[in-house]
Amino acid sequence: MIIYPDLELRKGRLVNLIRNRIESPVIYDLDPVEAAHDLARQGAAWLHVVDLDAVFNEGENNDIIRKIIRTASCSVQVGGGIRSMEKVHGWMDAGAARVVIATAAVKYPHFVMAAATAYPDSVVVSIDARGGRVLVDGWTEATIFTPGDFVHQFDNVGLAAIIYTDIDRDEDFPGSTMAHATSLAAKIRTPVIVSGVVKTLDDISTLSYLPNIAGAITSRALFGGAFTFAQANAIAVERHAQAAPLL
């Protein structure tokens, strides 16, 4: 399992959104580029970088993201406002290892298929779900789709992964568990990266035992001091070594 540190950018700063509220982000007193370098030094193989300004059509943080891609010695997965092939081409040309398509995947499935055809194993679809339904437009609009029904259409198009955000778990909804993520991962062949579920090192340990969970994105717990990347990665690496077949 891969641990993906989540660098969310808002007006050039490293932030995290509580309940996805752009108007009141948690702001971390860290330079995003330096944070990326530090995570790479701790052993991060991947970074998940999201341009929140692009998501909410309030500008962009392209220069910072390009600098992270150029100077951090790890692979970068870029998301945020990727709604056209022009954006996909732009980020791939800039050196991104993957692009992440979110709301546009729900509204324009053919766009995902075109992107995956152009860049096999380099496109990720990100879905957010609450109460068993996929949400779009910054968690403001519920669709008729269940996560499982929605992602099945992409199971044979060459995606690198599906990112699944369990909003109930992220918002500490009473009774929320990892069951939704487990169920989704069991229904599809595409690897699943979970988001919003990691709050402790025990959560990482639990996830590392679940079939088809290929990774976990972490931001609030990581930058809030619940654990370091090195601590989280050690658990993921240890479990990977235990699961490796003997030759």
- Residues assigned a catalytic role: 8, 128
DSSP 71-100: HSSSEEEEESS--SHHHHHHHHHTT-SEEE
Q: Are 43 and 229 in contact (CB under 8 A)?
A: yes
Say what angle helices 62-71 and 32-41 make with each other, to 10 degrees: 20
| Separation between Cα atoms, residue 84 and residue 213, nearest integer Å | 28
Q: What is the largest CA-CA distance in the chain?
A: 54
Spell out the long-range contacts of 59-67 with Cβ–Cβ below 8 A and sequence spacing 24 or more.
59/11, 61/9, 61/10, 61/11, 61/12, 64/9, 64/12, 64/32, 64/33, 65/9, 65/94, 66/94, 66/95, 67/33
Q: What is the DSSP letter of 144?
A: S
Q: Are 207 and 3 in contact (CB under 8 A)?
A: no
